[in-house]
Homo-oligomer: A and B are copies of this chain.
Amino acid sequence: MTETDRQTEEKIFDAAAEVFVEKGMDGARMQDIADRAMINKSLLHYYYRTKDKLFDAVFQKLAGKVFAKFAPVFSENLTLEEKLRFFYKEHISFMNENPRLPAFILNEINRNPDLIKRILKNIDFEKFWIMLETQHKAELETYNITRETIPQLMSTIAAISVFPFAARGVLETILENAGMQFGSYIEERKEFAADFVIGALRSRINKKQ
């Protein structure tokens, strides 16, 4: 099977993913997708009956991929601090290869909050906490991390890696003014992020409230 013989459905999906990520659901045009897939517009409707269904297929797959990227950290046999370094290295690298994905997903969820529920409803956060607790009981105590502080902590950890991509346009302009490149900022960030969070965690030692 040659390059051009790729299955039509796959060609459509890839083209749709490109256009949707670039323009968003509202800004995307079926004709644009058809053009990029180098097929007739009617074929879109033959494989995915409506724009909504096509968007849904694309979103579910891409969003699933992104959220899955948070998981493998827990299968590694590392200390909490090592896991943090591992996470930022992996996660920022992944996002750097798909730089528009975070903003796309966050924005579409903002447009239609139901989109995310299907993806997250399968995740058992209680189980996740138990796993964390059994793997890192001592460390959690040391850092004074409890079930109650998890949301603040986790959202902060995610914020530090995701935000630069969600706010890429702003950041690029500011960095440019300072004579820096977004690319090297991102490279730096892998280490900076881990150092920053680990520093914040260590400062919690012996500060039970």
Chain A residues within CB distance 8 Å of chain B: 23-24, 26-27, 100, 103, 106-107, 109-111, 113, 115-117, 120, 123, 125, 149-152, 155-156, 158-160, 162-164, 166-175, 177-178, 180, 185, 188-189, 192-193, 196-204
A162 neighbours in B (Cβ, 8 Å): 159, 163, 167
A159 neighbours in B (Cβ, 8 Å): 159-160, 162-164, 167
A189 neighbours in B (Cβ, 8 Å): 152
Query: Can you list 28 A-B pairs, Cβ within 8 angstroms, ordered by A?
Result: A23-B26, A24-B24, A103-B106, A106-B107, A106-B166, A107-B107, A107-B110, A110-B168, A113-B169, A116-B170, A120-B170, A120-B177, A125-B174, A125-B177, A149-B192, A150-B178, A151-B185, A152-B189, A155-B167, A156-B193, A158-B163, A162-B163, A198-B203, A199-B199, A199-B200, A199-B202, A200-B200, A200-B203
